[in-house]
Structure 1
């Protein structure tokens, strides 16, 4: 990067100033009280994301039959809204008042209320009460969490069961609030057979959006997953919104949960984040949510009677934590490198834009920088964005194996028909650069060749015009 001319850094945005955004973060598991939200709110607000996923916690809310205490959830929703963020709600889990099995499980996780008419009726009554209570404050409601995984559908995933459950829950959501949006899916596996089998049971009849979760170190697998779900969903309901509801990874080895066996580090976590969120945006999702704000226990397989079964620490957070003897997240809640990466993405991609093809073409050339040639054109991952004012941005990276490689190379690009000043933004750390004449060869009109640009194993963004105009000058 030393050949580039550093000219500033991306300035984090206050969510109150952002009218539109496609980026979010998870603020989950407060139904099980695993961290102190009061100590996280200020740092959460300074990230600049708009969408915040919270979990509704039937078990915590209805402790006496037919009586709902939404006070704890009101405090979360109202604080997020006052800080300029948009909460959306994952409606979960079971309730031991109506299901003896749920009494044995910490947080009643994975105990769907489908085994008795009483439990199912109580669930629907709770959903109606929930959406009526939050009418005007919450719009999007997600139906259950990862029903295709055994941790969250403990008697064994069944797509027909979930399809019927989603249909009836979606109706209850709208009975409580006719303006609410019902989100189905929250699927943890890349399995379109599950989704189509659920469709046969009425899954798509009442829902307004489909959500998916994706935990994989492979960019292509993630994009294939999103595009396949989108294609199937829009066969049943053209134009239906697609939401990425969870995707993230750990910042160290020795954790629990998805991708736990990998030799992760804080740097790898941040690179994973930017690669995946950019890929989500290029797939055209309504919004994409990083999992998660906090390091915290996974708390998906715990037994109520044995706290050792849910002291399964996960290190997915953009804020780090230590843990007390009960598994509660304590300490400073200190930002990791991924915190700055998410700030950068949230600021750069705030506001309206659309995914578009751009007249930018990788063309390998000799590269003295690496005593060889530029990266092959077919190895470059890329995409384009355009704002309503016509400003554009071209994102590119080399999808090297995150676990074994720290990649640095060069790429040369042919550019045509792209007016405006050119800048390069490092989406990992927010650094902004001008391109010297030795790199940017002007050929007349809006034609140029960019010679031997740096390319890394995470996305960097070339902006043309005022795609990102708010710069903190060095």
Structure 2
């Protein structure tokens, strides 16, 4: 495995305090705007990383190349049964929440290896690999089992610790395994991270990609817990989808990211059918690759949305077999296309209800007349096999003239009944850009005119998590922080307008020339998953809260004391009417800091009995003190609300699950 050299922003703090990183430890507030690395790539093999110290005497802890890979990590090697080996780093003492991520691996299942968040009194939160093959943590003094672990396998661990309540949550590979865990020792602040192999055991362990960030909350607002993630099966139905594109070209690996799909909570997944991958020899179909994906996604509770797209080089005139590819054109290729489409629908019509015809034809330079004829040809084949199929036309960049021409031609041919809707791809660095939704409104009006009953869906959109990424918006500087903010703002914007919306993509995509880092999951260069990015957990919060049990309130009446533009999107529970109202600073491209300002908000037509504050990015839920809100009739006033360029909700407590 080759790891990506990247510039994560997770060392930026709300209050201008820097939490220690693997490369260096500093208390300098002025350093908070610098770039930091959370890995050991730049540490020479055999050296103790700067800012870390080794103790215990039972062995050593140094940066080393991981055997069988070109990956470098911090290796703990304990050779003594009478002494431990411990390595640690310190950071400025903080009473704010500490969100820590790291990867952990052991060379055996017969030694106890622990990673600890420490305070002045010792270990407060521990995640450990036991000498009997179990992953575990603690709830106070009680050991809590987190499942079995295997030797020589990396585990992606996230620990969120809250000194204000002396509690913590633990996630493993994107799944919350434990919550509301009491600290092991009494502490009101945290100041260090330690890893070690126990005194009685010998063994080798590896730690990598340590990421530590503090997250402050309004002073005196009690922490209640975090949003409970829900799987796709638990959610059941929503307007939230996730992209799993390019599997047909091998740019991602379903076996690697598949286990994370259901954990995310999105209830639909966009896939590409892959004519060229399925029919590598004319007339011979190999469906095994797609069967595995469709069946596993369905097993996890996701509804596949299958795109019929891209050509096949096995045929002369077979069209382009990748992004920007042309339509098949020769008689032989078109006959091959027809046969493949018919076979695909016949095979999957009991498992797939939604289809899409081609990918971004306008960006590929395909004339709208050609695309219209091709759409009719393909959609007719789909409906012949599956009369109730939902079929989307496609275009990118919200090209209203292209869509209008397509719809006009479709109507003139008397084939508007073949269209269930249009899917658009609105890449824009500002997720609140009014132009985007003005164009969406135009598309909706066109659909209503030419294909009544059809819908407009956001089918592919995302931003990178690092600069220099492949694809749309890759020329701008992005980090994992700004990615998570951007995704949240777009999702809440779309869902607040009752638009079905998809996150592009579940995993980083490995194009031939460069990585497209729009994934919610960080990858190694062999496409295996390295860790879940902050955006993965942020989307989990959205999926858990904004499902089909809530409805958007598009005409919600509100006002604010803020001198900067705000976006407000309101929702209500369908059964009780209790509300969830999101607000954020509509400040263009998201910033690289989490500094909050204070604003007062007034909601007319509100419905709350016990309002709480929810930060979708962190998942944290805090009580809103009684002196910060008041109600007169159905007008609610909230004062001193923390505001920044990422969505925060004022939600009735009955509408959330911790």
- The answer to whether the 8 Å contact 2:261/2:297 transfers is no
The residue aligned with 2:407 is 199
Q: Match for 1:210 among 422, 427, 437?
A: 422
Q: Does 1:5 align with 2:222?
A: yes
The residue aligned with 2:271 is 54
- The answer to whether the 8 Å contact 2:223/2:623 transfers is yes
Aligned length: 432
- The answer to whether the 8 Å contact 2:275/2:310 transfers is yes
Find the aligned partners of 1:130 and 1:182 in 2 and give their Cα distance: 14
Q: Does 1:190 align with 2:190?
A: no
- The answer to whether the 8 Å contact 1:14/1:48 transfers is yes
Distance 1:169 1:260, change over 3 A: same
Find the aligned partners of 2:343 and 2:566 in 1 and give their Cα distance: 50
Q: Match for 2:586 among 396, 399, 408?
A: 399
Q: Which has the larger radius of gyration?
A: 2
Q: Does 1:281 align with 2:495?
A: yes
Distance 1:359 1:176, change over 3 A: closer
- The answer to whether the 8 Å contact 2:249/2:322 transfers is no
Q: Match for 1:329 among 518, 522, 527?
A: 527
- The answer to whether the 8 Å contact 1:49/1:85 transfers is yes
- The answer to whether the 8 Å contact 1:375/1:410 transfers is no
Q: Match for 1:85 among 295, 302, 305?
A: 302
- The answer to whether the 8 Å contact 2:538/2:619 transfers is yes
The residue aligned with 1:384 is 570
Alignment of 1:354-433 (within 5 A): 354-357=551-554, 360-364=557-561, 374-376=562-564, 379-389=565-575, 390-402=577-589, 406=593, 408-417=596-605, 418-433=607-622
Other structure's SS at 1:411 match: strand
Find the aligned partners of 2:522 and 2:634 in 1 and give their Cα distance: 46
The residue aligned with 1:301 is none
- RMSD of aligned Cα (Å): 2.0
Deviation by residue 1:106-125 (Cα, 9 ceiling, x = unmatched): x4554444422222222122
Distance 1:43 1:51, change over 3 A: same
The structure with the largest strand share of the pair is: 2
> Per-residue deviation at 1:322?
2.3
Distance 1:96 1:136, change over 3 A: same
Q: Does 1:170 align with 2:386?
A: no
The residue aligned with 1:305 is none
Q: Match for 2:515 among 305, 313, 317?
A: 313
The residue aligned with 1:341 is 538
The residue aligned with 1:303 is none
> Per-residue deviation at 1:442?
4.2
- The answer to whether the 8 Å contact 2:485/2:590 transfers is no
- The answer to whether the 8 Å contact 1:184/1:209 transfers is yes
Other structure's SS at 2:337 match: helix
The residue aligned with 1:296 is 509
> Per-residue deviation at 1:465?
5.5
TM-score when normalising by structure 2: 0.63
The residue aligned with 1:135 is 349
Alignment of 1:145-164 (within 5 A): 145-150=359-364, 156-164=365-373
- The answer to whether the 8 Å contact 2:318/2:327 transfers is no
The structure with the largest helix share of the pair is: 1
- The answer to whether the 8 Å contact 1:96/1:108 transfers is no
Find the aligned partners of 2:393 and 2:535 in 1 and give their Cα distance: 29
Find the aligned partners of 2:460 and 2:260 in 1 and give their Cα distance: 20
Other structure's SS at 1:40 match: helix
> Per-residue deviation at 1:404?
5.2
Distance 1:437 1:352, change over 3 A: closer
TM-score when normalising by structure 1: 0.86
> Per-residue deviation at 1:394?
1.3
Deviation by residue 1:352-403 (Cα, 9 ceiling, x = unmatched): 3222246652242xxxxxxxxx335xx2211221222112221111111335
Deviation by residue 1:253-312 (Cα, 9 ceiling, x = unmatched): 111100011110000000010011111112322x211000111124xxxxxxxxxxx222
> Per-residue deviation at 1:92?
1.5
Query: Please, which moves more after superposition, 201-210 or 423-432?
Result: 201-210
Find the aligned partners of 1:30 and 1:61 in 2 and give their Cα distance: 12
Other structure's SS at 2:640 match: strand
**Is there any run of 5+ residues in structure 1 with no aligned partner, and where?**
151-155, 299-309, 365-373
Find the aligned partners of 1:363 and 1:43 in 2 and give their Cα distance: 39
Find the aligned partners of 2:391 and 2:554 in 1 and give their Cα distance: 32
The residue aligned with 1:153 is none
